[in-house]
């Protein structure tokens, strides 16, 4: 009976070691995988078109600012103090609007990029998980 208990204890203590397997690791360059996707080109084209549209708006605002500044400088000698103050105020307000528009453009561009990339990221993650499961990988780095 003592031998049976000893063997049973020994078997229970070594069983986890026998059942445990070394983790199977895999590695993938997710960035390279994303570059190989066929829809990446379309997403890049859409992003560039969106960025160009934002740039046109900002350029128009900058051009308006430059025009108002040039007008104010050209007419400075004939302007009254009140007119100068109004012109300076308008320039400052336009400058502020340009700054806000630039920040918003950056946010909009980041949001657009995230929206365009999300389906590709989800697709690649699903493909990686499917291949990992199919081949018995424990971790994919």
Number of domains in the chain: 1
Length of the chain: 141
Which domain, by its residues, includes 67?
A: 41-136
CA-CA distance, 28 to 141, in Å (whole number)?
A: 6
Give the pLDDT score at 141. Answer: 84
Q: What's the predicted TM-score (pTM) here?
A: 0.71
Domain for residue 46, yes or no? Answer: yes
Assigned token pair, 23: 């983790």
Q: What is the pLDDT of residue 26?
A: 85
Task: Render each residue's pLDDT in the chain as its tens digit; 141 residues.
Answer: 666 665 666 666 665 555 556 788 888 888 898 888 999 999 999 999 999 999 999 999 999 999 999 999 999 889 999 999 999 999 999 999 999 999 999 999 999 999 999 999 999 999 899 999 998 888 888
| Cα–Cα–Cα angle for 48, 50, 51, rounded to 5 degrees | 65
DSSP characters over 31-73: HHHHHH-THHHHHHHHHHHHHHHHHHHHHHHHHHHHHHHHHHH
- Residue 19 covered by a domain: no
pLDDT for 8 equals: 60
Q: Is residue 20 part of a domain?
A: no
Does the residue 125 lie in any domain? yes
Give the separation between CA 92 and CA 96, rounded to whole angstroms.
6
Write down the pLDDT at residue 33: 87
Is position 92 within any domain?
Answer: yes
d(Cα 9, Cα 42) in Å, to the nearest integer?
Answer: 63
Please indicate, yes or no, if residue 23 is contained in any of the structural domains: no
pLDDT score, position 39: 92
CA 54 vs. chain centroid, Å, equals: 17
């Amino acid at each position: 009976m003592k031998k049976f208990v000893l063997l049973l204890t020994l078997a229970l203590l070594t069983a986890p070691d026998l059942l445990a397997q070394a983790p199977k690791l895999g590695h993938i360059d997710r960035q390279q995988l994303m570059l190989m996707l066929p829809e990446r080109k379309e997403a890049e084209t859409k992003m560039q078109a969106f960025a160009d549209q934002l740039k046109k708006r900002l350029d128009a605002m900058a051009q308006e600012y430059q025009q108002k500044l040039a007008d104010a400088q050209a007419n400075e000698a004939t302007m009254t103090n009140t007119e100068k103050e109004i012109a300076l105020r308008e320039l400052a307000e336009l400058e502020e609007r340009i700054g806000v528009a630039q920040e918003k453009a950056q946010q909009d561009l980041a949001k657009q990029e995230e929206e365009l990339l999300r389906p590709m990221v989800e697709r690649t993650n699903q493909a990686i998980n499917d291949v990992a499961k199919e081949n018995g990988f424990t971790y994919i780095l």
